Structure 1
Amino acid sequence: MRALVTGAAGRLGTAVLNELAGRDIEVTALVAEDPGPLPAGRVVVGDARDPAAVSDALDGADAVIHLAALASPEVAPPETVFATNTQATFVVLNEAGERGVRRAVIASSLSITGLPFAKVRRHPPYLPLDVDVPLRIEDPYALSKQVDEATAAMMHRRHGMTVAALRFPFLGDPGRLAGHAERLARDPAAGASEMWSYLDLRDAARACLLGLTAPLEGAPVLFVAAPETLVAAATRDLLAVHHPGVPCRAALEGRAVAIDLHPAEQLLGFTALHPYPLGSHPDPLPEEQHP
Structure 2
Amino acid sequence: MRHCKEDCLMKILVTGAMGEIGRPTVHWLLSHGHAVRALDLDVSQPIAGAECVQGDVTDYESVYELTEGMEAIVHLAAYRHPSLAPSQRMFHVNVGGTFNVFQAAAVRGIRRVVCASSINALGYNFGVRFPAGQLQYFPIDEEHPTYTTDPYSFSKQMIEEIGGYFWRREEITSLFLRFPAVYDMESGTASILLEFVEGCSRQTAEIMALPEPERSQRVRAIIRDFERRAEDREWEKAFDLSFPDASVMFGRSNFWTSLDVRDAAQALEKGLLADYEGSHAVYVTDTHNFVGLPSRELVEVWFPDVTTWKKPVHGTEALVSTDRAQELIGFEPMFPFQTEYVDS
1:14-163 equivalence runs, <5 A? 14-119=23-128, 124-163=135-174
The aligned counterpart of 2:200 is 184
Contact 1:64 1:105 in 2 (8 A): yes
Contact 2:289 2:317 in 1 (8 A): yes
C-alpha separation in 1, matches of 2:177 and 2:15:
15
Q: Which runs of 5+ in 2 are unaligned?
A: 1-9, 204-246
Task: Encode CA deviations 1:203-231: one digit per residue, 9 max, x unaligned.
Answer: 00000000000001000111000100100
- Residue 182 of structure 1 aligns with an amino acid whose one-letter code is E
- Residue 141 of structure 2 aligns with an amino acid whose one-letter code is D
Task: Encode CA deviations 1:209-262: one digit per residue, 9 max, x unaligned.
Answer: 000000010001110001001002111111111111312222211111111211
The aligned counterpart of 1:241 is 301
Superposed displacement of residue 278, structure 1: 7.2
Moved more, 230-239 or 120-129: 120-129
Moved more, 256-265 or 175-184: 175-184
The one of 152, 161, 166 equivalent to 2:177 is 166
Superposed displacement of residue 16, structure 1: 0.7
- Residue 68 of structure 1 aligns with an amino acid whose one-letter code is A
The one of 252, 255, 279 equivalent to 2:316 is 255
Larger RCO (CA within 8 A; separation ≥ 6): 2
Task: Encode CA deviations 1:53-98: one digit per residue, 9 max, x unaligned.
Answer: 1122212101000000000111111111122100110001110111
1:202 counterpart = 2:262: yes
Instruction: Give me the CA root mean square deviation.
Output: 1.8
* TM-score of the superposed pair, with normalisation by structure 1: 0.92
C-alpha separation in 1, matches of 2:49 and 2:66:
12
Number of aligned positions between the proteins: 281
The aligned counterpart of 1:222 is 282
C-alpha separation in 1, matches of 2:340 and 2:176:
33
Counterparts in 2 of 1:59 and 1:183: CA distance versus 1, 3 Å: farther
* TM-score of the superposed pair, with normalisation by structure 2: 0.78
Superposed displacement of residue 265, structure 1: 0.8
C-alpha separation in 2, matches of 1:233 and 1:6:
37
Structure of larger gyration radius: 2
Contact 2:122 2:145 in 1 (8 A): yes
Contact 1:17 1:39 in 2 (8 A): no
Counterparts in 2 of 1:57 and 1:180: CA distance versus 1, 3 Å: farther
Q: Which runs of 5+ in 1 are unaligned?
A: 282-291
